[in-house]
Amino acid sequence: MRLKDLEKVQKTFKEADQDYQVELESEKIIIVGPPDIVSSEIGIRLSAFLFLWVNPRRLGRVFGSAGGLILPDANLTAPHVSFVRAARLRQSPRYFAEVVPDLVVEIKSQSDRIKPLEKKIKHFIELGAQVGILIDPDEETVTVYRQEGELIVLGDEDILTVPELFPGWELPISELWSPIFTQAETKA
């Protein structure tokens, strides 16, 4: 399968009013199910924190899982959250972007296994991503991958920083997790 074949599959889904997210990996079409609600919320929370830092500084573009990226190996993928520096993507195309993101984030859903997510992040790093982040809501850990250096595993009391892309940005890991609202907060 090639990208043109994937486009035909997407067109067929669209004509049938089916909203499946598909990726192309090693010439195979992968149908990606939606993330569970916790993973989705974490993705939105991280995207919001990043966007609020990136946008006023005009550092680049933050994308969610609906934005497809064509990689140099001809794979089409959509990380849960990604970032591309402004100098590398001055304008977003009205198609899939042909770029390896500078930052790629994968968030484990309830049905995911860690190994394939690790493999996906490592592949992005091999292709040129500067930083990869794997968020595991079940363990409440955030693992940071870089082109050089050891993995860094952060827990609830730690602070996530990515100084090579976002100098000065800090995010307490505890801010990623879904809040539990108190009884008083839920009264109208």
What letter represents residue 137's amino acid? Answer: P
Tell me what pLDDT residue 27 has: 63
Tell which residue, 73, 133, 126, has the closest CA to residue 98.
Answer: 73
Q: What is the pLDDT of residues 58-76, one digit of tens each?
A: 999 999 987 788 888 878 7
| DSSP structural state of residue 178 | P
pLDDT at 2 over 80: no
Give the pLDDT band of residue 97 (cuts 50, 70, 90). Answer: confident
Q: What is the model's pLDDT at position 149?
A: 81
The angle at the Cα of 142, spanning 136 to 145, to the nearest 5 degrees, equals 115
Residue that has been written with the tokens 């946008």 in this structure: 55
Q: pTM, whole model, 2 decimals?
A: 0.82
Give me the pLDDT at residue 4, please: 63
Q: Tell which residue, 60, 108, 63, 103, has the closest CA to residue 85.
A: 60
* Spatial strand order in the sheet of 81-85: 60-64, 81-85, 103-107, 131-136, 141-146, 152-154
Distance CA 36, CA 34 (A): 6
Q: How far is the C-alpha of 37 from the C-alpha of 98, rounded, in Å?
A: 29
Lowest mean pLDDT among 58-72, 98-112, 126-140: 58-72
Look at residue 148 and tell me whether its pLDDT is greater than 70. Answer: yes
- pLDDT (tens digit, 9 = 90+) per residue, 153-178? 999 999 999 999 999 999 999 999 99
CA distance 43 to 39: 6
- Give percent above pLDDT 90 in the chain: 56
State pLDDT tens for residues 18-45.
555 656 566 666 666 666 789 999 999 9
**What does the mean pLDDT of the chain come to?**
87
DSSP string, 130-153: SEEEEEETTTTEEEEEESSS--EE
